[in-house]
Amino acid sequence: GTPAADMYPRKILEYMEGFLVSKVVFSSCELGVFDLLLSAERPLSAEEISQAIGASLDGTQRLLAACTGLKLLNTLQDNGQVLYSNTEQASVYLTRSSPLSLYQSIQYSSRTIYLCWHHLTDAVREGRNQYEKAFGVNSKDLFQALYRSDEEMVKFMQLMNSIWNICGKDVVTAFDLSSFKVICDLGGCSGALAKQCTSAYPECTVTIFDLPKVVCTSREHFVTEADQRISFHEGDFFKDPLPEGDLYILARILHDWTDERCVELLSKVYKACKPGGAVLLVEALLYEDGSGPLTVQLYSLNMLVQTEGRERTAAQYATLLTAAGFSNIQHRLTGKIYDAVLGNKEA
Ligand code: SAM
């Protein structure tokens, strides 16, 4: 039929240009706009900003205007001049030094994820990640590709780190884990979730199990000696024995791998786990009918372009856990990005 005269493809236009918004955020962060406005402690003009960040006046003016439209910057008129300042959200999340900063995540999105997504069409066609095309690296060993340089590894670790300052407490308290004293965080990376555990559960100790070079960097840059209840264990969780524990946390681990590899890993966890112990999966859960949440549907595509895995529903995780021997499987939604699934090993 003929479309109604008042029909207007608002959504489609918004989607078509969604990446323009991402790029404005990436570039403003990279140029240090929000950091500058934070340290200036007073509203600045486009001239002052362009000079301080070493960018063209014309380009800066347009970027600042777009940031204003996105409600990341506030403007005020001063003697016919426009002055810019950070909105509260920009100060808290887009500046480097803020404790809740997403700056490093944005950097990783800009420099790595965005480049992989350039090859999304091929990823869908081929059903596999696009590291070779995007970065010229062999992706046979996933984490060798992800950690293709020390710099990339640190960037990845910073990405992993930042989200737990924002929603880590919700996932570690989604279930009462206070009865588990010896916790092993498999693929615990920078230790951000381990810190959330030790602060939520004063009696527990957490061992971070990760690849040797990740452990080394985590020790040097992320976990201080003051975190006395956090220790490290270097190893490959597919090849090496796992330390014994009451609770194993696998946060954003299974979404990297195929069902077969997940069951292989969970079976090892089941064997190492003390009777009466448990495994906690921390993942973004899809609705059972696959109809959402949109963020998780997009994350699943991100897993396609970047990893060997996918995002799953609670029932799909339950199937993997059951195959590995775990029982009494429950899940809790947190209302934020990441949710929790708990499986028990009978006493
Ligand atoms: N759990 C952390 C979090 O949620 O922030 C990090 C998740 S990250 C997607 C996957 C982690 O698994 C990385 O820290 C990586 O180094 C680790 N990893 C990958 N393969 C591994 C292996 N074979 N043995 C041990 N750790 C591994």
What CATH number does the domain containing 20 carry? 1.10.10.10
Does residue 197 sit in the same domain as residue 334? yes
| pLDDT reported for residue 225 | 83
| pLDDT reported for residue 338 | 97
- The answer to whether 340 touches 332, Cβ cutoff 8 Å, is yes
Q: How many domains does the chain have?
A: 2
Residue 174: pLDDT over 70: yes
Within a domain: 328: yes
Kindly report, residue by residue over 323-333, the tens digit of the pLDDT: 999 999 999 99
For residue 323, how far is its CA from the centre of ligand 1 (angstroms)?
Answer: 22
| pLDDT reported for residue 226 | 81
DSSP string, 107-145: HHIIIIIHHHHTTHHHHHHHTS--HHHHHS---SSHHHH
Is the Cβ atom of 52 under 6 angstroms away from ligand 1?
Answer: no
Which residue, by CA, sits nearest to atom 20 of ligand 1?
143
Does residue 81 sit in the same domain as residue 214? no
Mean pLDDT of 112-128: 97
Residue 149: pLDDT over 80: yes
Q: Which atom of ligand 1 is nearest to the CA of 185?
A: 1
Is the Cβ atom of 29 under 6 angstroms away from ligand 1?
Answer: no
Is the Cβ atom of 256 under 6 angstroms away from ligand 1?
Answer: yes
At 15, list the tokens. Answer: 């989607």
Does residue 173 sit in the same domain as residue 84? no
For residue 250, how far is its CA from the centre of ligand 1 (angstroms)?
Answer: 9
Q: Is 119 one of the annotated active-site residues of the chain?
A: no
Does residue 180 sit in the same domain as residue 328? yes
- List all residues 6 or more positions away from 16 whose beta carbon is below 8 Å from its beta carbon: none
Does residue 61 sit in the same domain as residue 194? no
Which residue, by CA, sits nearest to atom 5 of ligand 1?
160
Q: Which atom of ligand 1 is nearest to the CA of 307?
A: 9
Q: How many CA atoms lie within 13 A of 228 on its CB side?
A: 2
Within a domain: 200: yes
Which of 70, 93, 116 is at the close of a domain?
93
Query: Hey, which residues does 340 pair with through a beta bridge?
Result: 282, 332
Q: Which atom of ligand 1 is nearest to the CA of 192?
A: 5
Q: Would you place residue 3 in the very low, low, confident or very high pLDDT band (cuts 50, 70, 90)?
A: low
Does residue 34 sit in the same domain as residue 175? no
| pLDDT reported for residue 335 | 95
Mean pLDDT of 291-306: 97
Within a domain: 151: no
Kindly report, residue by residue over 59-114, the tens digit of the pLDDT: 999 999 999 999 999 999 999 999 999 999 999 999 999 999 999 999 999 999 99
Within a domain: 295: yes
Supply the ipTM of this predicted assembly: 0.99
- Tell me what percent of the residues of the chain surpass a pLDDT of 70: 99
Instruction: Report the chain's mean pLDDT, rounded to a whole number.
Output: 96
Q: Would you place residue 286 in the very low, low, confident or very high pLDDT band (cuts 50, 70, 90)?
A: very high
For residue 236, how far is its CA from the centre of ligand 1 (angstroms)?
Answer: 10
| pLDDT reported for residue 139 | 86
Does residue 208 sit in the same domain as residue 335? yes
Does residue 62 sit in the same domain as residue 176? no
Mutate to test the pocket of ligand 1, among 214, 223, 282, 307 (most ligand atoms within 8 A of CB): 214
Does residue 208 sit in the same domain as residue 297? yes
- The answer to whether 347 touches 276, Cβ cutoff 8 Å, is yes
Which residue, by CA, sits nearest to atom 15 of ligand 1?
187
| pLDDT reported for residue 2 | 60
Kindly report, residue by residue over 212-261, the tens digit of the pLDDT: 999 999 999 999 888 899 999 999 999 999 999 999 999 999 999 999 99
Which of 37, 69, 93 is at the close of a domain?
93
- Report the CATH number at residue 280: 3.40.50.150
Is the Cβ atom of 303 under 6 angstroms away from ligand 1?
Answer: no
- The answer to whether 196 touches 172, Cβ cutoff 8 Å, is yes
- Match 């062999």 to its residue by tokens: 138
- The answer to whether 282 touches 171, Cβ cutoff 8 Å, is yes
Q: Supply the range of the domain harboring residue 80.
A: 10-93
Q: Would you place residue 4 in the very low, low, confident or very high pLDDT band (cuts 50, 70, 90)?
A: low
Rg of the chain, C-alpha, whole Å: 22
Q: Which atom of ligand 1 is nearest to the CA of 164?
A: 5
Mean pLDDT of 144-160: 92
Which of 30, 58, 93 is at the close of a domain?
93
